[in-house]
Amino acid sequence: MSSPYKRIILKLSGESFAPQGERGINMAEVVHIARQTVKARELGVQVGIVIGGGNILRGGQFKAGNTSIQEATAHYMGMLATVINGLALQDALESLGAPTRLMSAIKMDGVAEPFIRRRAVRHMEKGRIVILAAGTGAPFVTTDTAAAQKALELDCDILMKATRVDGVYNADPEQDPSAVQFKSLSFEEVLAKGLRVMDPTAIAHCMTHSLDILVFNYRTDGNIERAVRGEAIGTRVTNAKS
């Protein structure tokens, strides 16, 4: 079975690189994600990955008044954390035989290529998995928004957000066992209900440009491949009314 998509962005949180409740990088977790991603690529889809850095550093730990580090500096530190994660993911993917390119929005030629849109597209057309690190290269922008921007810039068919729950719920399913999962939502419903899908700026970008978002559980083995195949998993957010 092939994929209904030509090109996708997969958004991974930094927390996906460590067991739940832990910090740092656990290579068993990274290889689990890499193995699923390689299988998805084998379906013929072009894959770009935007990764967070929360497993290494969270900006919230540098709130104004609690530290001498300025908030903008903390954001840059977080961007560098995504590059560290990108390097780990690159090695995991290449250990499985997948060609990759790590591209950074902050220039660091010794470890990553600079992000250039046309070059990124060319890598993807050649079958390379492109890891997009350092967010947008500017502070005060989340990796959710970076993922939406990169998906639009690279003319992707869908933005896939991998999480540790099965989709979008009306309450936190990790705290409320009675929480109900939505199978589909419109962008308007997400904003009206204040649902935690992605940050409001990312939602606005996707809504304006009619770029669907699929939220699904990456911890279930094979789910990345199922998502890329177009199977009905997770929650799909679209401009269409649910």
pLDDT in tens, 93-116: 999 999 999 999 999 999 999 999
Q: What is the per-residue pLDDT for 226?
A: 95
Q: Is the pLDDT of residue 54 over 60?
A: yes
Give the CA distances from residue 78 to residues 23, 133, 165, in Å, rounded to whole numbers and listed in that order. Answer: 14, 10, 24
CATH code, residues 7-238:
3.40.1160.10
Distances from the Cα of 117 to the Cα of 113, 139, 149, 204, angstroms: 12, 20, 11, 22
| Structure confidence at residue 177 (pLDDT) | 86
| Residue-averaged pLDDT of the chain | 92
| β-pair type (7-12, 46-51) | parallel
Q: Among 238, 68, 52, which residue's Cα sits nearest to residue 159?
A: 238
Per the CB < 8 A criterion, the answer to whether 80 and 134 are in contact is: yes
Question: 207 near 148, Cβ under 8 Å?
Answer: no
Tens digit of pLDDT for each residue in 9-52? 999 999 999 988 889 999 999 999 999 999 999 999 999 999 99
Identify the pLDDT of residue 144.
95
Residue 66's pLDDT band (cuts 50, 70, 90): low
pTM comes to 0.93
DSSP 160: E
